[in-house]
Amino acid sequence: MPTSPESATNPGLFEAVVNLCKRRGFVFPSAEIYGGIRSTYDYGPLGALMLRNVREAWWRAMIQERDDVVPIDAAILTNPRVWEASGHLATFTDPLVDCRNCKERWRADQIEGVCLNCGSRDLTEARPFNLMFKTYVGPVEAESSVAYLRPETAQGMFVNFLNVLTTTRRKPPFGIAQIGRAFRNEITPGNFVFRTREFELMELEFFVPPADSPRWHEYWCDQRLAWYRRYGIASEKLRLRPHETEELSHYSAATTDVEFLFPWGWGELEGIANRTDFDLRAHQEASGTSLEYFDQATGESYLPHVVEPAAGATRAMMAFLLAAYDEDEIGGERRAVLRLHPRLAPYQVAVLPLSKKDTLAPVSRDVLHRLQRHFMCEFDETQSIGRRYRRQDEIGTPYCVTIDFESLEDQQVTVRDRDSTEQTRLPIEDVVPHLSGRLGN
């Protein structure tokens, strides 16, 4: 992984965010009461909300705001011939070495000939290790019932190309998009949710006339970079990095990564590949079904080329958290604050009655119910108001709505802004339109 001088400088940030994730309920080690399972995580209440918001932000930009992309939701287990044709059975491998001294296993390309566990140079020759998880479909564990958990969602879109083409009457350029779980038996997972064996992918396969693919590749690089900026990552923490020829995946003619400056250095957030007609051609040959598009305007049939922006939702969530984490001082008191984009924050609004007294309950519940129809809200009436504000700052809630005893008289509430801590007094009637206007998209 390439690093830069300004990176490797911030281990404190990584620790602070990992710690916050556990303490506040974003991410838990999986099955912790059984000692966990290496590099596998469960998403807690706040993590489940935020991951959903990351997916929705992607869906909004890639599907909802366009008229040339349609979604699908394909199966995780599919016919194993898909993985044979796609090249994953033969080439979806990492080079694996064993340390003869301590028996630890490593990806040869990540350790420069030295075991990171014991420092020994006594390593085996590198051999290819297939990253796909193998399982059996049905009750018989035979070669004929072998199936694989998908290592990418992309193939679900290639094998459905014809179905989508005919049912939606699309023509290139158009895209098929999908969000879903993917599984890779990574040799060295790590860095929290950066590299895990189960993760979530957000992928677009954009089918174009062959000659247009370089132009579309450039277009999607720009679009995807802009998406991370739109949701709050500063430009200086993002860059585009074209792959060297020897780095390219087996299907790619050109790939550019969107990279983020993680606390340990620049790391991949997303790969934008020009997959040419590699996949459609492979499935056409293996299945015997023509996957060509007939262009009525020119009277020609051709296999479209594919430009693929493929992003990790779980990895993107981690980058958004790292980019948003901040510490500052309010009224002489230090606070941790997640300056998340309002659409990514687990809760958009916290409803906070100043006191637990019954007199405030009806109006507080009324405010909560009005807001819940539009935003994800948390209701909190415990502890001092200052502590509740700190808690909401730390989990990134952009707005707190406070109900006090005066609210009973004047039907007004106070809206507090997470970033500036500014407070605005507003009629209850105006709170929903006011916040809708400030939440952005």
Structure tokens at 133: 């998880």
Q: Give the C-alpha separation, 324 to 26, whole Å.
A: 14
Chain positions 141 to 160 lying near ligand GAP, rule: CB under 6 A, are: 152, 154
315 near ligand GAP, judged by CB under 6 A:
yes
Number of residues located near ligand GAP, criterion CB under 6 A: 19
203 near ligand GAP, judged by CB under 6 A:
yes
> Quick one: which of 47, 263, 271, 353 contacts ligand GAP (CB under 6 A)?
271
- Residue closer to ligand GAP by CB (options 50, 201) is 201
CB of 196 to ligand GAP, least distance (A): 5
Segment interacting with ligand GAP (CB under 6 A) among 89-97, 194-202, 224-232, 364-372: 194-202
- Residue closer to ligand GAP by CB (options 180, 271) is 271
- Residue closer to ligand GAP by CB (options 92, 389) is 92
| Main-chain dihedrals φ then ψ at residue 290, nearest 5 degrees | -70, 130
Contacts of 402 (CB under 8 A, 6+ apart): 352, 353, 354, 385, 413, 414, 415, 416
- Residue closer to ligand GAP by CB (options 230, 365) is 230
Q: Which residue in the shown chain puts its C-beta closest to ligand GAP?
A: 312
Structure tokens at 417: 């802004």
Q: Could you tell me the strand order of the sheet in which 423-427 lies?
A: 377-379, 349-353, 399-403, 412-417, 423-427
Cα separations in angstroms, 40 against 15, 45, 188, 195, 238: 18, 17, 12, 9, 27
Q: Give the C-alpha separation, 432 to 5, whole Å.
A: 46
267 near ligand GAP, judged by CB under 6 A:
no
Q: Which residues pair with 97 in a beta bridge?
A: 106
312 near ligand GAP, judged by CB under 6 A:
yes
CB of 315 to ligand GAP, least distance (A): 4
Contacts of 135 (CB under 8 A, 6+ apart): 77, 146, 147, 148, 149
x-or-dash string of contact with ligand GAP, 318-357, rule CB under 6 A: ----------------------------------------
199 near ligand GAP, judged by CB under 6 A:
yes
180 near ligand GAP, judged by CB under 6 A:
no
250 in Cβ contact with 88 (< 8 Å): no
Among left, alpha and beta (phi > 0; psi -120 to 50; other), residue 36 is: left
Segment interacting with ligand GAP (CB under 6 A) among 70-78, 193-201, 207-215, 340-348: 193-201
Among residues 336, 334, 335, 368, the alpha carbon closest in space to that of 351 is found at: 368
> Quick one: which of 178, 213, 314, 414 contacts ligand GAP (CB under 6 A)?
314
Structure tokens at 166: 């005919």
x-or-dash string of contact with ligand GAP, 104-143, rule CB under 6 A: ----------------------------------------
| Main-chain dihedrals φ then ψ at residue 61, nearest 5 degrees | -75, -35
Q: Is the dihedral of CA 193, 196, 201, 206 positive or negative?
A: positive
- Residue closer to ligand GAP by CB (options 54, 415) is 54
Tracing tokens 């490797």 back to the chain, one arrives at 8
> Quick one: which of 49, 69, 176, 311 contacts ligand GAP (CB under 6 A)?
311
CB of 116 to ligand GAP, least distance (A): 18
Structure tokens at 225: 């970079």
217 near ligand GAP, judged by CB under 6 A:
no
Structure tokens at 136: 């059996």
310 near ligand GAP, judged by CB under 6 A:
yes
Q: Kindly list the residues in this chain that would bind ligand GAP in the complex (CB under 6 A).
A: 152, 154, 184, 186, 195-196, 199, 201, 203, 268-271, 308, 310-312, 314-315
